[in-house]
Structure 1
Amino acid sequence: MIRLPRPAAWGQLRFGGRLGWARGAVGALFGVALAAVAGKLLPGTPQSPWIVAPVGASAVLVFAVPASPLAQPWSVLGGSMVAVLTGLAAGHLVGDQLTAVGLAVGMAIATMTLARCLHPPGGACAILGALAATNPASSAIGLLLPLLANLLGLVFAGWLYNNFTGHPWPHIPLQAPPMPKGTWAGTYERADLDAVLEDWDEVLDVAPEDLDALFRAVERRVLRRWEDDHK
């Protein structure tokens, strides 16, 4: 069971270090601006948006938590486009907006999972697709093209900014160095971690490779302290 910290402890959480929030904020400013420029350059009609709202949610993931499996390039681009197409299909299939929006999000979760591109803002993209399909005044192309342009601009900005600021993107899981022999440290195996994750039966927003590297880094730190205390 995963226990969340008590409400009083929320203010003590760290997001990527003391200034991680600033790095993410500047990145989002850059990313959304580039996404908006890409949308503005499209030769659209007055009814077509030049930026689609879910892109803002995608920017939060890309720049604030770039190591998240949900924030990787394929998740951002593939997840959003798969979801909006699923929403369009649901809208055309049902015809009723109230029914279509719920069906669209449910189908989008399934299709994104199967395509290995689960992306939370995809739920909003699915709703937009369902609404566009059930509104005679809306155009599917008028939604798809701006969304695609926005996403391409955002993904390019994410690749450029995250790598420039020391956060390789797409994320590369850390490789934990081997633990010293003859100590208690490193006695657990990766299979133990996988078994615990399977027992929990929860979807965690972190790659198992990163969890493994984190646990082994904690072990090394504890081992150094233990060795210092026993000199």
Structure 2
Amino acid sequence: MQSFVQQIARIPRQPLLGHLGWMRGALGGTIGIAISGTIGVLVLGTTSPALPWLVAPTGASAVLVFAVPASPLAQPWPVIGGSIISAAVGLLVGQLTGAPILAASIAIGLAIAAMSVTRCLHPPGGACAVLYALGAAGPEAWGWLHLLAITANVAALASAGWLYNNLTGHPWPHRPVRVPEVAKPATRAAAVHGALTEVLADWNEVIDADIDDLDAIFQAVERRIRSTEQDAPPSALI
């Protein structure tokens, strides 16, 4: 229990305001889903209850786009490509198997593989794969027309994310922060970038951060340490 509490305590709090404050993300998610739902209604209408105008995985995508817009998993191509590709995989598997549990199981595995190969890994894509596999294998027998729903939703969400994030101080698609180099750019920067790449390869872990962001963080930390050491009195450095 103590370890669990310690893990929770280490989760950083998001401030209320600011360009990454939780209020900004909450408002963005509200606007994003409102736009996605509206576009879904305009494209698909509401006359057919069997054809959804807003699919649930879009909500998960909204959390990533508006709350953590710097994440590699929250960029436009993962949001759009990961969702649509996974939904298509789910539909195909569901139609071929006709067994909901089997279809969902195979679909999630194939969706992860497809997103990884096409470089659009997006966690809500897994939900798309399962949802569409169940829809295709279930009594409603979802067809390829149902892809219009997720396509309209994520296209609208990405458009809203691009506009909202850029208007509220966070470039999207994300661009790493550029910081002044603390040493010779041609040699030091390349060495740091290469070392970070090697360390991540040695760890054999997938970290939800771009290598260029990690590089910028390292450079900024090193620059701040240098600045602090230069400003400190000689006695403090002994």
- Common fold: TM-score over 0.5: yes
What residue in structure 2 maps to residue 34 of structure 1? 35
1:80-118 Cα deviation digits (max 9, x unpaired)? 000001111211232211111011000000000001100
Q: Secondary structure at the match of 1:189?
A: helix
Q: Give the TM-score normalised by the residue count of structure 1.
A: 0.89
Unmatched 5+ stretches in structure 1: none
Is the CA contact 2:57–2:124 (under 8 Å) kept in the aligned structure 1? yes
Shift of 1:180: 4.0
Letter paired with 1:111 = A
TM-aligned CA distance change 1:223 to 1:74, over 3 Å? same
> 1:14 corresponds to which residue?
13
Give the distance between the partners of 1:159 and 1:203, measured in 2 at CA: 26
Answer yes or no: is the 8 Å Cα contact 1:49–1:142 preserved in 2. no
Deviation at 1:156, TM superposition (A): 0.7
The 1-side partners of 2:155 and 2:200 are apart by 34
* Cα deviation code 1:10-46 (max 9, x no counterpart): 46x133x553111100100110100010011124422
Counterpart amino acid of residue 126 in structure 1: A
CA-atom RMSD in angstroms: 2.1
**Counterpart of 1:201?**
204
Answer yes or no: is 1:170 the counterpart of 2:173: yes
- The answer to whether the aligner puts 1:101 opposite 2:104 as a matched pair is yes
- Larger % of helix: which? 2
**1:87 aligned residue:** 90
Alpha-carbon distance between aligned partners in 1 of 2:190 and 2:228, rounded to the nearest angstrom: 18
Percent pairwise identity: 50
Say whether the 8 Å CA contact 2:44–2:51 is kept in structure 1.
no
Q: Which amino acid aligns with 1:7?
A: Q
Specify the alignment match of 1:149 in structure 2.
152
Question: Match of 2:170, SS?
Answer: coil
Separation in 2, partners of 1:5, 1:212? 31
After superposition, the Cα gap between the structure-2 partners of 1:79 and 1:8, relative to the gap in structure 1 and judged at 3 Å, is: closer
How far apart, in 1, do the equivalents of 2:198 and 2:151 lie?
A: 39
Q: Distance in 2 between matches of 1:123 and 1:86?
A: 10
Give the paired residue count: 223
Within the candidate set 50, 53, 58, 1:50 is matched to 53
1:220 corresponds in structure 2 to 223
Letter in 2 for 1:14: R
Once the two structures are TM-superposed, the CA of residue 49 in structure 1 deviates from its matched residue by 1.2
Q: CA deviation at 1:52?
A: 0.2
Q: 1:83 to 1:43 in 2, by over 3 A?
A: closer
Q: Which amino acid aligns with 1:193?
A: L
Please tell me the residue identity of whatever aligns with 1:39.
G
Deviation digits for residues 36-62 of structure 1 (CA, Å, limit 9, x no counterpart): 100111244222111100000000000
Matched with 2:76 is: 73
2:118 is aligned, of 72, 90, 115, to 115
Structure 2: unaligned runs, 5 residues or longer: none
Query: Is contact 1:97-1:134 (8 Å) kept?
Result: yes
> Retained in 1: the 8 A contact 2:107–2:130?
yes
TM-score under structure 2 length normalisation = 0.87
What are the residue-to-residue correspondences of 1:122-133 with 2, within 5 Å?
122-133=125-136
